[in-house]
Amino acid sequence: MKSFDVVVIGGGPGGYIAAIRAAQLGLTTACIDEWKGAGGKPALGGTCTNVGCIPSKALLQSSENFEHVGHGFAEHGVKVKGLELDLAQMLKRKDKVVKSNNDGIVYLFKKNKIDFFHGRGGFGASPNEIRVGEEVLNAKNVIVATGSSPRALPGVEFDEKLILSNTGALAIPEVPRRLGVIGAGVIGLEMGSVWRRLGSEVTLLEALPTFLGAADEQIAKEAAKLFAKQGLKIELGVNITKVERKKTVSVQYGDKTAEFDRLIVSIGRVPNTEGLNAAGVGLALDERGFIAVDDECRTNLPGVWAIGDVVRGPMLAHKAEEEGVVVAERIAGQKPHLDFNTIPWVIYTNPEIAWVGKTEQQLKSEGVQYRAGVFPFSANARARALGDTAGMAKVLAHAKTDEILGVHIMGPYAAELIAEAVLAMEFRASSEDVGMICHAHPSLAEALKDAALGVDKRSLNI
């Protein structure tokens, strides 16, 4: 029997980062992952690398390039004739981007001397005994990082041909004329944007009556208008009553029936606990089926930790990674801290939407006195030069202390710009602090500075 200080089950961003950090700290570490890539070979990186963050961002970039050449370049005086879509090449490139990330993790495992086992890992006779295929590993500590899988509509299985989860949505071999999307959440908006840019007529059917309820209301309202202008048809408050698979897919809701050539179902994800033998060793799950953990990712079993999508909290790769780091450090006897309030969110639509901290509606409902500064990208010089002026930066600060409580950015490169806001909040900066920092001119980051100055009604460029 091989023995390790740490055995990580799951090789997604939570698991592989936890393994790397544990190995850096001098702990003997193994990681087990069952993902099968081309030819059944291991493909480290989990959902994020194989069918999530990475391939979706590759296709978002490619499809945006296609749309820019087709619709955006003429305004810059760049004329292109004979524009053609080579979808097979676009998908091939996406696969290549994924493969280079898979290979990168293999390299990091070798570099850090992490033992890798390909297969399904689960608890054996005790929480310290982990089985993978014929192997039995003895583990002083176990980190469960088994991630999540797409939630299906009741009675409507994914076939990845007509009815697609994120896996199929990233590999449609020809552009569907009519694409339906059930759920106007993050996946629905990102994948809907990809296929709309490539020529599909996209309809998103959302159960909730409000659009993007987790985002700041002002930003969500503006985003809804922009997406509608781009041609994404979004219907809210929809109750799906029937989904019928024929040559096409017909979806009944209310008194309407819609026909689609393909249907993406993106209505959230469920934790992966099957095959772990959780019940066998008494590993507690919560009422929603996630592994129950405390704030420090400890399960009810001594020496067993759980992180990432398989536990409570936002299903985000960087949240999984940070939990992986802090758990490895706790195992090594350190006392790290993770502030869930400063985990940023990004939706990679065009414009991108990013935020950190509280929304205006949250502050109102919590009765917190705040002041807001809003600055539109239409007044930002770099955005004008880019020809990308939709959206705004918004800073919410405490009315008395001026501490920044939330930052919301919708606009070009919002995913990059939000990092400054995260840094500011980690250091408990005031809006005045950010307003006083010298930002390069012309830069998109100046929109954040101007929004911060706007909290005290002293924006310089509006």
C-beta of 313: minimal distance to ligand NAI in Å? 10
Kindly tell me which residue out of 7, 8, 10, 143 binds ligand FAD, with binding defined by CB under 6 A: 10
Query: Prior bond to 442 cis, omega within 30?
Result: yes
Taking CB under 6 A as the rule, which mask of x and - marks residues 213-252 in contact with ligand NAI?
A: -------------------------x-x------------
Evaluate whether 166 touches 150 at the Cβ level (below 8 Å). yes
Active site residue 71: no
- Tokens representing 395 are 């800073």
Site for ligand NAI in 130-189 (CB under 6 A): 153, 182-188
How far apart are alpha carbons 271 and 91 in whole angstroms? 28
Given ligand NAI, ligand FAD, none, residue 14, with its beta carbon under 5 to 8 Å by kind, binds ligand FAD
Q: Which is nearer to ligand FAD, 48 or 162 (by Cβ)?
A: 48
Given ligand FAD, ligand NAI, none, residue 142, with its beta carbon under 5 to 8 Å by kind, binds none
Question: Which residues, in sequence order, are bridge partners of residue 272?
Answer: none
Helix axes 13-24, 317-331, angle to 10 degrees: 30
Of the ranges 89-97, 132-140, 260-268, 447-455, which one interacts with ligand NAI (CB under 6 A)?
A: 260-268
Of the ranges 27-35, 108-116, 378-386, 399-407, which one interacts with ligand FAD (CB under 6 A)?
A: 27-35
User: Rule CB under 6 A: is residue 141 a binding residue for ligand FAD?
Assistant: no
- Tokens representing 405 are 């409580």
Query: Virtual CA dihedral for 258, 191, 99, 41, nearest 10 degrees?
Result: -40
Given ligand FAD, ligand NAI, none, residue 147, with its beta carbon under 5 to 8 Å by kind, binds ligand FAD
How far apart are alpha carbons 23 and 420 in whole angstroms? 30
How far apart are alpha carbons 68 and 76 in whole angstroms? 10
Kindly tell me which residue out of 6, 60, 162, 187 binds ligand FAD, with binding defined by CB under 6 A: 187
> Comparing C-alpha atoms, which of 362, 371, 83 is closest to residue 199?
83
User: Rule CB under 6 A: is residue 34 a binding residue for ligand FAD?
Assistant: yes
Site for ligand FAD in 311-330 (CB under 6 A): 315-318, 320
How far apart are alpha carbons 399 and 196 in whole angstroms? 42
How far apart are alpha carbons 426 and 141 in whole angstroms? 30
Q: Which is nearer to ligand NAI, 268 or 280 (by Cβ)?
A: 268
User: Rule CB under 6 A: is residue 4 a binding residue for ligand FAD?
Assistant: no
User: Rule CB under 6 A: is residue 268 a binding residue for ligand NAI?
Assistant: yes
Q: Residue of minimal CB distance from ligand NAI?
A: 185
Of the ranges 256-264, 271-279, 335-343, 354-362, which one interacts with ligand FAD (CB under 6 A)?
A: 271-279
User: Rule CB under 6 A: is residue 344 a binding residue for ligand NAI?
Assistant: no
Evaluate whether 14 touches 321 at the Cβ level (below 8 Å). yes
Q: Which is nearer to ligand NAI, 67 or 206 (by Cβ)?
A: 206
CB contact set of 150 (below 8 Å; sequence gap of 6+): 158, 165, 166, 167, 265, 266, 269, 270
- CB burial readout 143-179, b (16+ within 10 A) else e: bbbbbbbbeebeebebeeebbbbbbbbbebeebbebb
How far apart are alpha carbons 36 and 152 in whole angstroms? 21
Q: Which residues are catalytic?
A: 441
Interface with ligand NAI (CB under 6 A): 153, 182-188, 190, 205-208, 238, 240, 266-269, 314-316, 346-348
Interface with ligand FAD (CB under 6 A): 9-15, 32-35, 46-48, 52-53, 56, 120-122, 145-148, 166, 187, 272, 275-276, 308-309, 315-318, 320
